[in-house]
Amino acid sequence: MEVNIGLLGCGTVGSGVVELVQKRSEMIARLTGLEPIITRVLVRDSHKSRPVVFKHEQLTTNASDILEDPEIRMVIETIGGIEPARTFILQALRAGKHVITANKDLIAEHGAEILDTAEQVGMDVYYEAAVGGAIPLIRPLKESLTANEITDLKGIINGTTNYILSKMTATGADFDEVLQEAQDLGYAESNPASDVDGLDSGRKLAILASIAFHAKVTLDDVDVTGIRTISATDVAYAHELGAVIKLLAEGTDRDGNLSLQVRPTLVLKDHPLAHVSDAFNALYVRGDAAGDLMFFGRGAGSLPTASAIVGDMIEVLRNLRMDTALRVRHLLLPHKRVRRGQGEPTRYYLRLTVRDQSGVFAQIATIFGLAEVSMETVLQKRSSHETAEIVIVTHEVGQEQLNQALTTLYATDSVLTVHNVMPVTGGAQ
Amino acid sequence: MEVNIGLLGCGTVGSGVVELVQKRSEMIARLTGLEPIITRVLVRDSHKSRPVVFKHEQLTTNASDILEDPEIRMVIETIGGIEPARTFILQALRAGKHVITANKDLIAEHGAEILDTAEQVGMDVYYEAAVGGAIPLIRPLKESLTANEITDLKGIINGTTNYILSKMTATGADFDEVLQEAQDLGYAESNPASDVDGLDSGRKLAILASIAFHAKVTLDDVDVTGIRTISATDVAYAHELGAVIKLLAEGTDRDGNLSLQVRPTLVLKDHPLAHVSDAFNALYVRGDAAGDLMFFGRGAGSLPTASAIVGDMIEVLRNLRMDTALRVRHLLLPHKRVRRGQGEPTRYYLRLTVRDQSGVFAQIATIFGLAEVSMETVLQKRSSHETAEIVIVTHEVGQEQLNQALTTLYATDSVLTVHNVMPVTGGAQ
């Protein structure tokens, strides 16, 4: 039996979906007893040439042709962005269609509205492709690991910044130069803010944390620092310290108190995340029963993303075949609280420019001592005849103590600049 | 509503299941709408003291008390081994109970019989815990990645041998010494044959390959080499070559021709599998759409294994709630053929003891040249006043060509011993 599917959007991801469904439709039919047919495709321009070939009547520029077609049982949204994707998805659900989306922005921002609507109307929404591309993350968290209380998430979940940081590490080039190159190659968007300012990672972390910690989490709950301030100098110091700089997304749940952070981090080379390069993504998960787990793979791209979407599609076909819906529920535990600005104690890397005069270092040491922040490593280099550069790695310290030391540092005349403050992870921890 | 569950066996894994179900029963009830209750537990000795406490009436030494109890909807088997586990599971299925098992030996050897029976009687069998402990592997392969044609599996799926090889690498000790120590610590069984001879890895590979490649695969289809012959000398040479020795399980599907191998392998340190140490497991998967993926985590232990079993239990509860069964089908593609002794072309490591006389090396070089096996690296060391040791790493070469060179080497008087022949993976490949 055939199942009619409507596709909203036919860019990189949408084309991948069409290609993969065509290639695997026979196998999917044997697996599920139902044959998926993409009957209608919403496009902006029906005359544009595309990597996949459609019959003329398949293409439409009018969303109603899909959303109001009673024959269409399932809608796949690959438009991206908030509107009109949000309106289309809500309309599709209310019209009795199951929805699959790769739209991380939408799920991070309006996930609760969409999932609540789906539950009210008895339809399913799947969004494996929204985080980590091809890597199965959402489903393992929602299904395989459900017996666990998950306490920690830690990962590299944005390919663009990981590409930029990997290139900076490999070539020693500065941020702006590598960003330009990434834009020229199409790895970074012309407006790269969402990626390089850490917002994309923050949204994906919000999605993962909602599921793993059974809490309502949005981007507003995440402390986000991007990578614009990371310079070739920091990359070189990281190397000297046996580390690489990665944009890590971290979530912790300590007895219902959640902390969510996206920030550039020095990852020591003995940590597996140090070896996740270029456009790859990886997520560490710690569960109280399972222990430590890691999931690694391609975080973006046409076919990797399509792999996750068509995986979800097969899930919907199984549901249709079994005549069930809302099989996997969202569990929200009301006692969970997000505490912003309350990251776990960690070691920190700081780079300062100070006046090159006698007594400055003793002054800094005193500031750290008063704040009870002890230093593990200190590198000091003259940077000009009047200034010196000091890099400090602290022992493990709470965020409040560190902030106390930083406040005093900022107010100290001989400290000219505090360039970067980053956590350090890996090693004997 | 409560769902009664029978537990067969209450050793390390069974106790973990009881502990986890007790700890999470409320959360599971909120998630699934059904509360799991382990009502009966089959034990050998009902008076033995256990880490978990039971009411007297919960324990039984008679399997029929569980298998014939019409109130019990689900049976969890943690006895291990073939019999009586096989008979119990078949009996439970025929009595209309869903089955969860962690029994890799049974699934590898009698998986087809059990799954066929389950299909006939309309019951489900889940076995996530049979491979890779806590790591979600079976479900991602069966569900998340179904849109892919999976072409490669490569992993470390036996904790005991990985512990032994990691210890040999860390301490420089020889196999027998480390095995003894592992046995004293309880990491290796008193009869370690199944682990160290690679059979356990072979069975798990058979399970993974059946699912990933949609084929009937048993241990008989796997070329298996264990780690008994690996010496401290090989470990030291591997180190010199920038590699570590790991027992890798590898499966490939090339247009329906399957090759399945378990063998000690030199893994170059740039490959992520080189960093999977001690009792951790990891599996690489390559799909035609998803690209490369890796799954990493604890391969054994009471709670990690229980995490997978209770994850399956929640799945069965969802099925019960939805009143469905056989939701995820096994797809067998009849054109798949296993070809034994036909591994992919790879680089090889060989260690030879030869007579220390002039012309021997030239002779060996000629043998390799005639078989069209070219050498990438050669290390030569005098081992006594009469013999020398030669280690060769070849360029990529097919198994047949290598065998041709080996046959001639064995027949050559000046070649006294061929100690170990192992593939080399990682690097620029």
- Concatenated DSSP letters of A140-167: IIIIITTTS-EEEEEEE--HHHHHHHHH
Does B55 or B200 have the greater pLDDT score? Answer: B200
* Separation CA B179–CA B173 (nearest Å): 10
Quick one: pLDDT at residue A195?
96
Would the annotation count B408 as a binding residue? Answer: no
| A204 annotated active-site | yes
Minimal C-alpha gap between A419 and chain B (Å)? 32
Please list every residue in chain B whose beta carbon sits closer than 8 Å to the beta carbon of residue A16.
289
Does B395 or A53 have the greater pLDDT score? Answer: B395
CATH class, range B2-134+302-322: alpha beta
Percentage, residues of chain B above pLDDT 90: 86
Would the annotation count A104 as a binding residue? Answer: yes
Q: What are phi and psi of B346, to 5 degrees?
A: -155, 170
> What are the pLDDT digits (tens) for B77-127?
999 999 999 999 999 999 999 999 999 999 999 999 999 999 999 999 999
Residues whose CB falls within 8 Å of the CB of residue A55, separated by 6 or more in sequence, listed in order: none
Top-ranked range on mean pLDDT: pick from A74-88, A341-355, A367-381: A74-88
Percentage, residues of chain B above pLDDT 70: 100
Structure tokens at A189: 């968007």
Q: B31–A313: do the CB atoms touch at under 8 Å?
A: no
Structural domain boundaries of chain B? 2-134+302-322, 139-298, 347-425
Structure tokens at B248: 């890798």
> Among A163, A153, A161, which residue's Cα sits nearest to residue A226?
A161
Over residues B170-184, the mean pLDDT reads 95
The CATH number of B139-298 is 3.30.360.10
Distances (CA, A) of B412 to A240, B388, B405, B409, B419: 52, 15, 11, 5, 15
Quick one: pLDDT at residue A428?
53
> What are the pLDDT digits (tens) for B13-58?
999 999 999 999 999 999 999 999 999 999 998 888 887 788 888 9
Question: Does B277 reach chain A within 8 Å, measured CB to CB?
Answer: no
Please list every residue in chain A whose beta carbon sits closer than 8 Å to the beta carbon of residue B318.
327-328
> Is residue A175 over pLDDT 60?
yes
Domain with residues A138-298, CATH architecture:
2-Layer Sandwich (3.30)
Over residues A285-292, the mean pLDDT reads 98
- DSSP per position, B326-341: --S-----TT-EE-TT
Q: B322–A324: do the CB atoms touch at under 8 Å?
A: yes
Question: Does B335 reach chain A within 8 Å, measured CB to CB?
Answer: no
- Which of A10-14, A201-205, B50-54, B255-259 has the lowest average pLDDT? B50-54
Residue identified by tokens 């590409």 is A163
Beta strands in B207-343 (DSSP E): 223-224, 243-254, 257-268, 280-287, 291-298, 337-338
Q: What is the ipTM of this complex?
A: 0.94
Do B2-134+302-322 and B139-298 fold alike per CATH? Answer: no
> What are the pLDDT digits (tens) for B294-305?
999 999 999 999
A250-265: string of b/e by CB count within 10 Å (b at 16+)? bbbbeeeebbbbbbbb
Over residues B235-248, the mean pLDDT reads 97
For chain A, the average pLDDT equals: 94
* Separation CA B330–CA B333 (nearest Å): 10
> What are the pLDDT digits (tens) for A235-274?
999 999 999 999 999 999 999 999 999 999 999 988 889 9
Residue identified by tokens 């070691």 is A347
| Alpha-helical segments (H) within A220-359 | 232-240, 302-322
CATH class, range B347-425: alpha beta
Quick one: pLDDT at residue B351?
95
Please list every residue in chain B whose beta carbon sits closer than 8 Å to the beta carbon of residue A136.
136, 140, 144-145, 293
Distances (CA, A) of B192 to A119, B150, B178, B200, B228: 52, 32, 12, 10, 11
Residue identified by tokens 């550039």 is A264
Identify whether the C-beta of residue A36 lies closer than 8 Å to the C-beta of residue B334: no
Minimal C-alpha gap between B119 and chain A (Å)? 14
* Separation CA A268–CA A343 (nearest Å): 19
> Is residue B161 over pLDDT 60?
yes
Residues whose CB falls within 8 Å of the CB of residue A27, separated by 6 or more in sequence, listed in order: B331
